[in-house]
Amino acid sequence: MASQNHQDRRRSERFQTLNLLSFHETDSQGQTLSQGIAKTLDLSETGALIQIPHQVIHPENFHIEIALEEEIIKVNVDVVDQVQKETGEWQLRVKFLNLKPVIRHRLTSFIRSLQ
């Protein structure tokens, strides 16, 4: 059986968009290891590609808040992978987890406005 490429496995269409986001990373005791501002490179109803200045050491404890126009949404994520680019910055593919219905609706509305 041939393996599917990443594009074929996507469940929803991604849109190139530049949205600011805040992030913070904690250790297993909940102590903040890093925090800062980053940006999305693309966005879908199920995840995003994010550019941040450094590698995430504890991806299981990585949290983001994305600015969608005039609203900030808090999103739990699973870091699917992270790659360091030639510029030294890192790109993370994240999957959104357990979105509340109101957050899912806001995200869907924002994405529809991009079409």
Q: Give the span between the Cα atoms of 12 and 40, in whole angstroms.
A: 16
CA-to-CA dists, residue 89 to 52, 65, 66, 84, angstroms? 6, 19, 19, 6
**pLDDT of amino acid 3:** 37
CATH classification (class only), 13-114: mainly beta
Helix, strand, or coil (residue 109): helix
Instruction: Looking at the chain, list the stretches that DSSP marks H as alpha helix, in order from N- to C-terminal side.
Output: 6-9, 101-114
C-alpha torsion sign, points 72, 44, 101, 25: negative
**pLDDT of amino acid 115:** 77
What is the rounded (10 degree) CA torsion for 58, 82, 48, 79? Answer: -30
pLDDT, mean of each 10-residue run, the chain (115 residues):
43 82 93 94 94 93 93 94 96 95 93 85
Domain map (residue ranges) of the chain: 13-114
Name 63's bridge partners. Answer: 24, 76
Q: Identify whether the C-beta of residue 73 lies closer than 8 Å to the C-beta of residue 66.
A: yes
pTM for the model stands at: 0.84
